[in-house]
Structures are given as C-alpha cells and as structure tokens.
A and B are shown apart, each in its own frame.
Chain A
Amino acid sequence: MTLFIEQCLNGVQFGLLLFLLAAGLTLVFGIMDLVNLAHGSLYMVGAYFAATLTAWTGSFVLGAVLALVGTLLVGMAVEVIAMRRLYGRDHLDHVLGTFGLILFFDEAVRLIWGPEGLSLPLPSWLNTSVTILPGIQYSAYRLSIIIVALAVAAVLYLLVMRTRVGMLIRAGASNREMVGALGVNIKLLYTLVFGLGAALAGLAGLMQAPILTVQIGMGENILILAFVITVIGGIGSIRGAFIAAILVGFVDTLGRSYLPDILRLVLSPNAAATAAPALSSMLIYLVMAVVLVVRPEGLFPAVRK
C-alpha cells in the first residue's frame, strides 16, 4: 500500500514536470500555430543555466531564479530572430526549421559547456525525506517539485483566465487577425508568449536536473512526451495539457512499476524484465493513438480554428 502511494506521488510529480514542459508547447502551438521542436532545447538550456549559476552564486534558489530569467531571455531572442519568420508557414517548415535549431543548440551547448554534461547537486535542506503520512516517507525535493509546479499551474490559470494579458492570449488564439486589427501589438504579445513558454520549459529542465541529468540532447526524449501530451490534451488548451500530463505521468510511472510484475505472470522473468520497460513506454503512445482516433481534437480542445 505504501508502495502504491509512493508510486502515485511519483506519477503526479513526473506528470507535473511534463505539464510545465507541455504548457509552453501548447500555448505556442495554440496561439501562434507554431510547431516548435526546439522546445526541448529550451528545457536543456534552463538546466545548464541553473547548474552553472547555482555553482557560481552558491545558492540553489538564486541560481534557479536567475536561470529562469536567462531562459526567458533566450526564448525571446529565439522568437525574434528565428520564429517570427516561420509564422503562417506550413507545419513542415516549422518542423524542419526548429529541427535545425535543435542541432544548433546541442552544438552550442557542447561548445560552451563541453561534452560531459554538468551536475546540479541538491542543497542539504532539500536532500532529505519528509513524513507525509504515518509510515510513509517521501523525498522532500520531489515534494517541492509538486508544490512548485502546482503553484505555477495556478498562476498560469489566473494569468490566462483573469488578466488582460490572458484575455489577449485567448483572443489571439481564437482570431489573431482580429486582435491585430484591434490595435493590439500582436508581435510583442507573441514574443512574450514564446518567452513564457521558454521559461516554463526552463523551469522543468532545472527542476529535474538534481534527480535526473544535465546533458546534451536531454530535451529530445522528453520532447516527444510533451507533444503527445499536447495532442491528447488538445492543442492550445492549458487545462487539457494539465490533465493529459497527469494522466501520462501516472501511466508511465505506474506502468514502469507494475507492468513487470503483471508480465511475469505470463512471461519468463528475463523476458518480462526486458519487455516491461518497452511496453510501459509504448502505453503512452497507445493512449495517444486511441485519443486521436476517437476524439482527434484532443480531450479538452481550446478553440475552433
């Protein structure tokens, strides 16, 4: 039972991390109709900045905040220099152009930081475990990820639903020409939205860094998951991204955890041990394929185009 609760928490934590990544992606996709494969690169940049700045300032929190600012700036720069020219073009153009950006970012990171990757050690006050329920210990750091991500989700919700900027964002997703015609500086809006997405990606990158990794190409594996979440949730919908992300986080974590045992009932232990991770990775794509066939606009589509 304890195991199950822990795994559920792990699933939620992973899902929330994915949400941060997917939120930016779905925003950019929904509002600017831009397929951005380089989103994973911003995730990587966030992690690298955090590792370097934490080592430099000696403080984890300060390093993280500065890294966020850095990623925001990089995101806005990328939007101004490269993305602007891609708006309105075919999705194929987006895919290719941003694929090129992935190559560029991977090499640039290698040039600046070397091929070995970095590490981001946890400060001692986070590197402990907390008793959340009698008899159940959980990693303090993972708990803090859950709290921070939920807070960010709440802020995002308030931003999009309750502020003027949020209203402009939603309007822009609905009908960008109209918003431009009404005199809103659509260019600035786009830059800000892209920057916001970049910052969210960077946050996800730096938060997973102490538990997972800071290395070149780290965005590529998780980018696919982010896209899957975007599609399942519905393009342009933050609410959809949230729910889809939690779903995916659960499926992946619980799948990895319990599938080997389930498989061992039918296969030999060795075969089960190798097939299980494969199957659990596949599960997510199966879910997406099912959603696409049954409800192609996604579970919570934002707007009609």
Chain B
Amino acid sequence: MNSALTVRNIVVCALLVALALLPAYVKITGNIFVLTLFTRIVILGLAAVSLNLMLGFGGMMSFGHAAYLGIGGYAVGILAHEGIYSGLVQWPVALLASAVFALVVGALSLRTRGVYFIMITLAFAQMAYYIIAGLARYGGDDGLTIYKRSQFLAPLDLTNKVQFYYVCVALLFGAIYLVHRLVNSRFGLVVQGSRSNDLRMRAIGFPTYRYRLTCFVIAGTLGGLAGALIANNTDFVSPSMMYWTRSGDLIIMVVLGGMGSVVGPLIGAVALLVLEELLSGITEYWQIILGPLLLLVVLFARGGIDGLLSQIRARVAA
C-alpha cells in the first residue's frame, strides 16, 4: 500500500497551489503587502532550492551561496546603471557570471573536504563581497538603486507586481522541476553516491570530481538567477546581500525545511519568512525563539519540517 496520498504530499501540493493562486487572493482582499511578502518568499525559496542541490544532495556544505545571489543581482544592477536595461542581456549575463564564479570556486574548493571546504567557500564569498563593496562606481557599501527593472518584450512588464510574481513562481517551479530531474537522473545518483561514500564511487570508476563540480556550478547558476530576481524585486542591490550571515540564513531555510527532498527548502523558506513576519508583529525579540528552535531541529529533527511531515504518514499507516 504505497499511496502517494500522504500527509506530506498533500501539504506540498497545497503549498504549490496556494503559491500559484496567491494573486487571486490578493485581488479579492486588496492586501498588496502579502504579494510583496510572498514574492520575496518565492525568490528566496528558489535560492534555497538551488543551495539544496549542492548541500542536501551533493553533500557540499558551502557557506558562500549568498555570493551567487549577489553576483546575479549586481550583474543586473551594474548593467542597468550603465544603461543596459534589456532583461535578455542582463539575465544571461547574471547566469553566466554566477556560473563562472561557481566554476572557479568549485574547482579550487572541491579539492578539500569537511570544514576546510566550508572555510574556503566562505573565504571566496567574502572576497566577492569585498570586491563588490570596493566598486565605488556602483555605490560600494551604500548599494546601488536600480531605476528601471529588466525590460522584456511587451506585454511582459516586470514593474507590474502580479506579472513579476508569476515570473518568479514560474522560475521557482521550473527550478524545482529541474532539480527533481537532475537528482533522479544518473548524474544525480552519482552525486548522491559521492556524498555517501566518495571513495567507493571512484573505485567503481566514476570521475566524481567532475560530477560534483557540475552540480556545484548548476546550483550556483540557479543562485545567480535568484539574485537577478532579487535585484528586480527590491530595485536595489547592496554588498550585504553577499555577507556570510546571509549564506547562513539560506542554510537555515534548507535545514529547517528538509534537506532530503527537492521541495523541502521551499517549505523552509515559507515557514521561516512567514514565521518571521508573524512573530515580529508579536514580539521584537522573536529571534530568541528561533535560535534554540534551530538547535533543536538540528538535534532532533534532522529531516526538517519535510521529514516530520513524512513521519506522520508512517505513524498513521501503522
């Protein structure tokens, strides 16, 4: 009795449907702020899903993922500042820049493992942060305001909140699908196998370094896409997008949501940001709850929310 109708699957489906139908809700209630909030959630969900590809599935604990968001964002920002507003130019540049950075960082870092890998990815991300903060022309530490969003062919107008939301949702769903296909392909199995036992995979004959590097680059590129979206969403980019604590925030989303599944990180992003919005209305000290909560999740609920939901099925079925 292997029913797909588990509690967890229902929750996930409901979430995806809710995200798709959100603009209708906004139209009915007139609460524009929800749309703004969820656009941000969807974009960060995309970032978390991309991180999970390398972290959860690839076992590559990168503490520098925020760098790709920053690079993607600044690609859009810098081009807009120089008068190039076409999204058809900006976004491919954003993707390419993140891919190249990921390639360089990955090539050097993947030679190391464990805590050294963590540190070296962190170091590269900080270097990117300092380089961008040093660009006086593009605002440096003060950040860069983007006066015109990425232009695409009419009628696609990113300044229209609803349209922009749908673009983000479409890209998020696309990314989830992409990651799903990757993970379940031969490529994905090699990467996951390498996470479990790299020596054995190599003994079998797989050039694991190449596979893992490819995975790293894909994840970084998707991160750059999220960055381009952030730039359009906030009409503003600043080096702080890339600071190491932002990478930490993304990791929290992934772990809280659940590293073992493709959708887990999205659940984590939604949970974390909605929780933040709700709790900060109640008390400004909400992080005092979040901190220990995170510790508890790490200690007792390693599979995150997604894992907990899956366990409900197990108990109900029995």
Contacts and interface: CB of A to CB of B under 8 A. Distances in A.
- Chains A and B in contact, CB within 8 Å: yes
Interface of A: 29, 35, 82, 85-86, 91-93, 95-97, 99-108, 110-111, 220, 224, 227-228, 231, 235, 270-271, 273-279, 281-282, 285-286, 288-289, 292-293, 296
Contacts of B111: 293
Nearest to B243: A220
A107 B245 contact: no
Interface of B: 61, 63, 108, 111-112, 114-116, 118-120, 122-124, 126-127, 130-131, 133-137, 140, 244-245, 248, 251-252, 255, 285-288, 290-295, 297-299, 302
B286 to A, nearest CB: 8
B252 A96 contact: yes
A235 B116 CA distance: 10
A89 B285 CA distance: 30
Given A95-B63, A97-B295, A100-B298, A228 B134 contact: no
Contact of B127 (A91, A100, A277, A282): A282
B295 A292 contact: no
**Residue in B111, B122, B294, B295 with the greatest tally of chain A CB atoms within 10 Å:** B295
B131 A231 contact: no
Contacts of A231: 116, 119
B291 A103 contact: yes
Q: Interface on chain A toward B: helix, strand, loop, or mixed SS? A: helix
Given A96-B251, A274-B134, A285 B298 contact: no
A274 B120 contact: no
Contacts, number: 126
A288 B108 contact: no
26 contacts: A35-B115, A82-B295, A91-B114, A93-B299, A95-B61, A100-B293, A100-B298, A101-B292, A101-B295, A103-B288, A104-B288, A104-B292, A106-B287, A107-B287, A111-B288, A224-B244, A231-B119, A271-B136, A273-B136, A274-B134, A279-B130, A281-B126, A288-B123, A289-B120, A292-B120, A296-B112
A98 to B, nearest CB: 8
B291 A96 contact: no
Contacts of A110: 285
Nearest to A293: B108
A82 B300 CA distance: 13
A296 B116 CA distance: 8
Contacts of A271: 136-137
Given A228-B123, A275-B134, A278-B131, A103 B61 contact: no
Contacts of B112: 292, 296
Contact of A278 (B63, B114, B130, B299): B130
Given A95-B63, A293-B108, A103 B294 contact: yes
Q: Interface on chain B toward A: helix, strand, loop, or mixed SS? A: helix
Contacts of B135: 274-275
Contacts of A228: 119, 123
A82 B299 CA distance: 10
A179 B136 CA distance: 56
Contacts of B136: 270-271, 273-275
B217 to A, nearest CB: 19
Contacts of B298: 86, 93, 96-97, 100
Given A92-B61, A95-B63, A224 B122 contact: yes
A107 B287 CA distance: 6
Nearest to A104: B291
B291 A102 contact: yes
Nearest to B255: A96
Nearest to A223: B244
Q: Which 10 pairs between the two chains have the least Cβ-Cβ distance?
A: A278-B134, A104-B291, A100-B294, A103-B291, A274-B136, A107-B288, A100-B295, A285-B123, A275-B134, A282-B130
A285 B126 contact: yes
A27 B286 CA distance: 33
B287 to A, nearest CB: 4
Contacts of B295: 82, 96-97, 100-101, 104
**Residue in B291, B299, B302 with the greatest tally of chain A CB atoms within 10 Å:** B291
A85 B296 CA distance: 10
Contact of B131 (A91, A108, A282, A292): A282
A279 B124 CA distance: 13
Contacts of A277: 134
A15 to B, nearest CB: 19
Given A96-B252, A281-B130, A227 B119 contact: yes
